């Protein structure tokens, strides 16, 4: 088998890259270890930056997103029992975020690829990269037990934080930057009406809480917890008690309870591998970098990476120029580090660091007070949250 670009991983990065390349007349093959049903059912991100939304619409996969996504023009920061609105659109010349679940983006992209007869091999096994130093790198894998080899001009490693692509790069080529945080999020999916029209990020003495939404009927709520927390320690009653306590306000707001459909614990982690390239292998999305979820940047960074990569590959196939491919890593990393900075700033402002003294907590309250009372500080939050320009 042969293709121009072999793509490992059918997450947002891999599928969107394949779609963008197809629009430019470039062939690709996507290999995914999980089933279609699994990737279309995994609950993850939900906040899309303005630039992500614009790209999905421009590239013809934004129809359902426009009909079913919910455009938000502000977020609330809640602390000291009071809510403070950050008017995102007013502070950023009309830009906004859209709430549309990641697995719906995945469904739209899988649909578009299959409709265009774009090959996606689901449920492959034993994926390995060979001949990475040659001009025809190859991907070996098993499909239905049979060993196959895909020869490529380029390989895109879009296989997330636990994939094989980054691990295939020889030792010493990449510089890893990593922080493991003493924080986790317990996320629940709830069948209930919305408790708020806009997202609520809350800091309370007992810890962080986030009120988010997926649809008018399904809500997504998060609680700060220990990163190694055993989910069995959190029966439904304890979760609601904790959410009520952390989100308490005397401003006449009600948290709507409902059936909990799903519970998950996510440990927080920051990671960047530099450069995002080795020879003809390019890393994109979580394969190259992981951010704590507080800034809602992970999916958006994956999209930004593949937008740059698709443009650089198109330039190569049209003109033979390698300059844009050579600049890929540097261009992406500038955005990645700014997203790391923002994600960590949001995380450190909004979480309770119980092992540290009260001085730390008072500094966080002062930071929140400043961000919600200074237009300059609120504008800085808003422009990062809706997404910085590409480049
Ligand atoms: C709870 C939670 C909330 C989040 N909230 C947000 C948010 O609001 N906004 C935001 O922007 N981001 C958010 N994120 C982050 C976001 O989900 C990820 O950054 C995003 O999925 C990255 O996309 P990706 O395509 O790079 O990787 P992934 O989505 O991880 O996709 C990689 C794919 O590769 C496949 N794969 C792995 N190994 C192999 C292999 N060896 N061979 C073939 N295939 C392989 C995997 O099965 C997977 O389908 C959140 C994450 C979590 C966990």
CB atoms within 10 A of CB 260: 17
> pTM value?
0.96
pLDDT value, residue 389:
81
pLDDT at 45: 84
Binning pLDDT at 50, 70 and 90, where does residue 43 land? confident
- Give tens-digit pLDDT for 314-358: 999 999 999 999 999 999 999 999 999 999 999 999 999 988 889
For the record, the structure tokens of 347 come out as: 């995380």
Does the C-beta of 44 come closer than 6 Å to ligand 1? yes
Q: Mean pLDDT in the chain?
A: 96
Higher pLDDT, 24 or 42: 24
Query: Residue 120 pLDDT > 70, yes or no?
Result: yes
| Ligand 1 atom with least separation from CA of 141 | 42
49 within ligand 1 shell (Cβ under 6 A)? no
Q: What pLDDT shows up at residue 357?
A: 87
pLDDT in tens, 7-35: 999 999 999 999 999 999 999 999 999 99
Nearest CA to ligand 1 atom 53: 44
Report the alpha-carbon distance of residue 203 to residue 291 in Å, rounded. Answer: 20
d(CA 61, CA 308): 18
Instruction: Give the model's confidence band at 258: pLDDT under 50 very low, under 70 low, under 90 confident, else very high.
Output: very high
User: CB 318: neighbour CB atoms within 10 A?
Assistant: 11
Centroid of ligand 1 to alpha carbon of 82 (angstroms): 34
Cα distances (Å, whole numbers) of residue 232 to 242, 255, 318, 367? 15, 23, 55, 35
Residues marked active site are found at 72, 201, 293, 297, 385
Task: Note whether 311 and 323 are within 8 A (CB).
Answer: no
Ligand 1 touching residue 207 (CB < 6 A): no
**What spacing in Å lies between the alpha carbon of 212 and ligand 1's midpoint?**
19
Which residue from 42, 30, 36 is spatially nearest to 121, judged by alpha carbons? 30
Would you say the CB of residue 387 lies under 6 angstroms from ligand 1?
Answer: no
**According to the model, what pLDDT value does residue 39 have?**
97
**pLDDT of 391 over the 70 cut:** no
What's the gap in Å between 11 CA and the centre of ligand 1?
Answer: 6
């Amino acid at each position: 088998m042969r293709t121009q670009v072999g793509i490992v991983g059918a997450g947002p990065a891999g599928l969107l890259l394949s779609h963008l390349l197809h629009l430019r007349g470039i062939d690709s093959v996507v290999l995914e270890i999980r089933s279609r049903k699994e990737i279309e059912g995994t609950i993850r991100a939900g906040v899309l930056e303005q630039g992500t939304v614009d790209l999905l619409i421009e590239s013809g996969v934004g129809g359902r997103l426009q009909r079913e996504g919910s455009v938000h023009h502000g977020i609330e920061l809640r602390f000291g029992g009071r809510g403070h609105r950050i008017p995102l659109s007013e502070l950023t010349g009309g830009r906004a975020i859209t709430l549309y679940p990641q697995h719906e983006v995945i469904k739209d992209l899988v649909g578009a690829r299959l409709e265009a007869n774009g090959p996606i091999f689901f449920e492959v096994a034993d994926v390995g990269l060979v001949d990475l130093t040659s001009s025809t790198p190859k991907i070996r894998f098993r499909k239905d037990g049979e060993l196959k080899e895909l020869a490529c001009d380029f390989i895109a490693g879009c296989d997330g934080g636990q994939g094989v692509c980054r691990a295939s790069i020889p030792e010493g080529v990449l510089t890893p930057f990593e922080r493991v945080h003493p924080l986790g999020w317990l996320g629940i999916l709830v069948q209930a009406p919305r408790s708020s029209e806009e997202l609520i990020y809350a800091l309370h003495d007992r810890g962080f809480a986030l009120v988010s939404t997926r649809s008018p009927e399904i809500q997504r709520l998060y609680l700060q917890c220990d990163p190694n927390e055993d989910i069995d320690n959190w029966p439904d009653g304890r979760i609601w008690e904790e959410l009520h306590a952390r989100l308490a306000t005397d401003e006449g707001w009600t948290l709507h309870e409902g059936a909990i459909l799903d519970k998950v614990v996510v440990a927080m982690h920051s990671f960047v591998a530099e450069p995002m390239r080795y020879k003809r292998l390019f890393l994109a999305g979580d394969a190259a970098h992981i951010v704590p979820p507080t800034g809602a940047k992970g999916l958006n960074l994956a999209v930004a990476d593949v937008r740059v990569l698709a443009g650089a590959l198109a330039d190569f196939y049209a003109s033979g120029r390698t300059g844009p491919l050579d600049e890929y890593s540097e261009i992406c990393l500038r955005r990645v580090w700014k997203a790391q900075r923002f994600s960590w700033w949001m995380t450190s402002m909004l979480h309770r660091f119980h092992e540290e003294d009260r001085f730390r907590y008072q500094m966080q309250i002062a930071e929140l007070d400043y961000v919600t009372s200074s237009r300059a500080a609120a504008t800085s939050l808003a422009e990062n949250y809706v997404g910085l320009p590409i480049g």
